[in-house]
């Protein structure tokens, strides 16, 4: 089982539920190293002090807050531990809301909450209560030297913890400005028709990262010395006649029926090659 990244308890009124926190997601992007383009040597990331002109090991680094240009307040691990934050070890449920009231823009990262030893019964009680009432609990949790707003919600027989952005972390000015052009009733009706033709239940297994798959194939082709296949030309995004584009889209959707599920292949990173020693 994965290693817990946080342990503490959920405070639910007078009930205390010892829990452990586990990551629920992981990135699958293909990673790259930076190389010197002239010789192919992998570059080192060096922590360099321009004053002493030396490389600085992690043991000699400190965290500093720049309160004015070139002036810092230095904080130690002891300073962070001494902060009076109950949420360092306790998830205190402060409110219960309908999940639909939380705009998705506030969600940051997902985690699984698992009961600690002898905490299965109170954990199951909270889980069932959230499921029956259809509610999400709000609380705060301190992880990685930061207190975060979080939401606890039931999912497939487990309690999920979703860290949330604070309101001042969400950019309210989106920069989108619509012109004065009006959408006609005919165009809106065709848009409704197209939406209905394409509407279906969400099944995450139908989707895969085509960019990662293509990138893996490109790397494999280069490793094997094969010719790299160029991508097909992109579609012209300059829509001249909206009504005509909608009509053609509806006709195509009716002709082809419901969209077919995407291939259920998992994109994987290209196999690592070992260099032969001759």
Query: Per-residue pLDDT tens for 185-239?
Result: 888 888 888 888 888 888 888 888 887 887 888 888 878 887 665 656 656 555 5
According to DSSP, the β-strands at 48-49 and 54-55 are antiparallel
DSSP string computed for 131-153? HHHTEEEEEEEEETTEEEEEEEE
Domain count, the chain: 2
Sign of the dihedral defined by the CA atoms of residues 242, 246, 247, 249, in that order: positive
Percent of the chain with pLDDT over 90: 38
Q: How far apart are CA 180 and CA 190, in angstroms?
A: 21
Average pLDDT over residues 33-55: 91
The alpha carbon of 214 is separated from its chain's Cα centroid by a whole number of angstroms, namely 22
pLDDT digits (tens, 9 = 90+) for 148-173: 999 999 999 999 999 999 999 998 88
Q: Which residue has the tokens 């130690």?
A: 76
Q: Are residues 18 and 116 in the same domain?
A: yes
Q: Are residues 115 and 214 in the same domain?
A: no
Taking the whole predicted model, whether its pTM rises above 0.75 is answered as no
Residue 105 pLDDT more than 90? yes
Q: Which residue has the tokens 């999920």?
A: 160
49 within some domain: no
Q: How far apart are CA 113 and CA 160, in angstroms?
A: 6
User: Which H/E stretch holds residue 10?
Assistant: strand 6-12
Task: With beta carbons less than 8 A apart as the criterion, state whether 93 and 152 touch.
Answer: yes
Average pLDDT over residues 125-142: 94
Domain enclosing residue 199, as ranges: 185-231+241-256
pLDDT score of 27: 84
Q: 37: helix, coil or strand?
A: coil
Q: Are residues 103 and 158 in the same domain?
A: yes
Residue 267 pLDDT more than 60? no
Q: Which residue has the tokens 């309160």?
A: 67
Q: Are residues 90 and 138 in the same domain?
A: yes
264 within some domain: no
pLDDT score of 176: 76
Task: With beta carbons less than 8 A apart as the criterion, state whether 265 and 217 touch.
Answer: no
pLDDT digits (tens, 9 = 90+) for 11-40: 888 889 999 999 998 888 888 899 999 988
């Amino acid at each position: 089982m994965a290693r817990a990244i946080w342990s503490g308890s959920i405070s639910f009124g007078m009930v205390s539920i010892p829990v452990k926190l586990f990551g629920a997601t992981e990135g699958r992007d293909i990673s790259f190293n930076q190389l010197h383009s002239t010789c192919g040597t992998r570059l080192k990331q060096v922590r360099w002090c321009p004053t002493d002109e030396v490389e600085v090991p992690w043991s000699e680094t400190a965290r500093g807050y720049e309160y004015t240009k070139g002036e810092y307040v230095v904080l130690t691990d002891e300073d962070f531990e001494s902060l009076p934050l109950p949420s360092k070890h306790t998830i205190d449920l402060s409110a219960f809301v309908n999940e639909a009231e939380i705009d998705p823009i506030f969600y940051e990262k997902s985690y699984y909450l698992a009961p600690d030893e002898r905490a299965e019964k109170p954990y199951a009680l909270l889980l069932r209560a959230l499921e029956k009432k259809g509610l999400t609990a709000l609380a705060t949790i301190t992880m990685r030297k930061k207190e975060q707003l979080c939401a606890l919600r039931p999912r497939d027989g487990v309690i999920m913890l979703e860290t949330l952005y604070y309101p001042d972390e969400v950019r309210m000015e989106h920069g989108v400005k619509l012109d004065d052009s009006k959408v006609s009733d005919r165009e809106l009706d065709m848009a409704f028709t197209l939406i209905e033709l394409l509407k279906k239940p969400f099944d995450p297994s139908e989707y895969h990262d085509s960019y990662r798959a293509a990138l893996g194939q490109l790397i494999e082709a280069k490793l094997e010395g094969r010719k790299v296949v160029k991508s097909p030309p992109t579609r012209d995004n300059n829509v001249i006649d909206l009504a005509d584009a909608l009509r053609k889209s509806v006709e195509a959707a009716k002709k082809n029926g419901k969209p077919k599920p995407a291939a259920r292949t998992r994109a994987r990173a290209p196999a690592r090659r070992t260099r032969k020693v001759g």
